Amino acid sequence: MEIVEWSDAYSVGNVLMDAHHRVFFQMVKEFSEAPDQDMRATMQQQIAFLAEYVIMHLAAEESLMREAGYPDIDKHKALHDAFAHKVHAARDAFPTDQGSVSAEVILQTMQDWFLNHIRDEDRKYAPYLRHRP
C-alpha cells in the first residue's frame, strides 16, 4: 500500500487543524512501519493513542465549525461519529482478539479517512474559518 504524504491539498487553512491532521499522517506512517506479529504492545499503544487523539481532534474541529457558523456541521459530525466508532471498535477488540485488528486494517481505515474526509469534507468548512471574526 502506498502511504499518503501530507501536502497542501489537505490543508484547511487553519494552523491548529492542519497541525492535528499532520499528526494523523504521522500515525499512518508509524502504522505502516509496525509489523503485525512482532510489535503487539506497541500496536496496542498506537491504537489507544489514535482513539484518544480522534476524540480530542474531532471535538476541537466540531467546536471550531460551530464557532465559524458552518451550516453542514450535523452532516459532518455524523461522518466524525462513524470514523470514531471504527477506531474505538478496533481499540476495544484488539486486547482480546488481536487477530481481528491488524496494522494494515488500521492503516487502510486511516488512509481512507485522509483521502476522502480531510481532503474533501474538511475543506468544505475552510471558507467559513477564513471569514471568522
pTM value? 0.85
Q: In the chain, what are the domains? A: 13-130 (1.20.120.50)
- The pLDDT of residue 57: 95
For residue 76, give the 3-state DSSP assignment: helix
Cell 471569514, located at residue: 131
Query: What is the per-residue pLDDT across 13-43, written as a single tens digit (0 to 9) for each?
Result: 899 999 999 998 888 887 777 655 556 777 7
For residue 127, give the 3-state DSSP assignment: helix
Amino acid in position 59 = A
- The pLDDT of residue 103: 67
- The pLDDT of residue 38: 57
Query: What is the per-residue pLDDT across 66-125, written as a single tens digit (0 to 9) for each?
Result: 999 999 999 999 999 999 998 888 888 877 776 666 667 777 887 888 778 888 899 999
For residue 118 the three cell numbers come to 480531510
DSSP 8-class letter at 7? -
Cell 488512509, located at residue: 111
- The pLDDT of residue 34: 63
In this prediction, residues 38-50 reach a mean pLDDT of 78
- The pLDDT of residue 95: 77
